[in-house]
Amino acid sequence: MIEVRASAPGKLVLLGEYAVLEGAPALALAVNRQARARVVLRADGEARVHAPDLKLADVPLRIDADGLPHWTRAQDAQSLRLVDTILRGLAAEGLGPPAGRGFELTLDSAEFFEGPRKLGLGSSAALTVALASALAVYAGCGAATANRRVWLERLLALHRGFQDGRGSGVDVAASLVGGLIAYRLTDEGLPRFEAAAWPKRVQARFVWSGVSASTADFLARLADWRAAHPAQYAAHMQALRAVAEAAARAVSDGRDADFLAAAADYAQALDAFAAACGLPIFSPVHRRARELAQDAGVVYKPCGAGGGDFGVLLGADAARLASAARSLEGAGLCCLPLAAEEQGLRLEYRN
Asked if 259 and 202 count as a contact pair (C-beta separation under 8 A), the reply is yes
Mean pLDDT score, 166-176: 94
| DSSP codes of every residue in 139-167 | TT-GGGGTSHHHHHHHHHHHHHHHTTT--
- Reply yes or no on whether the pLDDT at 304 is more than 90: no
Residue 115 in this model has a pLDDT that exceeds 80: no
* pLDDT number for residue 351: 85
Beta-bridged to residue 76, according to DSSP, are none
The mean pLDDT value for 319-332 works out to 92
pLDDT at 288: 93
CA–CA distance, 191 with 156 (Å, rounded to integer): 8
Mean pLDDT of 194-222: 89
What's the pLDDT at 262? 97
The residue among 11, 29, 33, 4 whose CA lies nearest residue 110 is 33
pLDDT at res. 199: 92
How confident is the model at residue 308, as a pLDDT? 77
What is the per-residue pLDDT for 1? 75
Report the C-alpha gap between 279 and 272 in whole angstroms. 11
pLDDT bucket at 12, cuts 50 / 70 / 90: very high
Q: pLDDT tens across 268-298, in order?
A: 999 999 999 999 999 999 999 999 999 999 9
Give residue 45's pLDDT band: very low, low, confident or very high (50, 70, 90). Answer: confident
Average per-residue pLDDT in the chain? 93
State residue 178's pLDDT score: 97
- Indicate whether 214 pLDDT > 90: no
Amino acid at 335: C
| Cα–Cα distance measured from residue 334 to residue 344, given in angstroms and rounded to the nearest whole number | 26
Averaged pLDDT for residues 164-183: 94
pLDDT for position 226: 94
pLDDT score, position 167: 85
pLDDT of 82 over the 80 cut: yes
118 pLDDT higher than 90: no
CB burial string 306-330: b at 16+ within 10 A, e below: bbbbbbbbbbbeeebbbbbbebbee
- What is the set of domains in the chain, with CATH numbers? 3-197+340-350 (3.30.230.10), 203-336 (3.30.70.890)
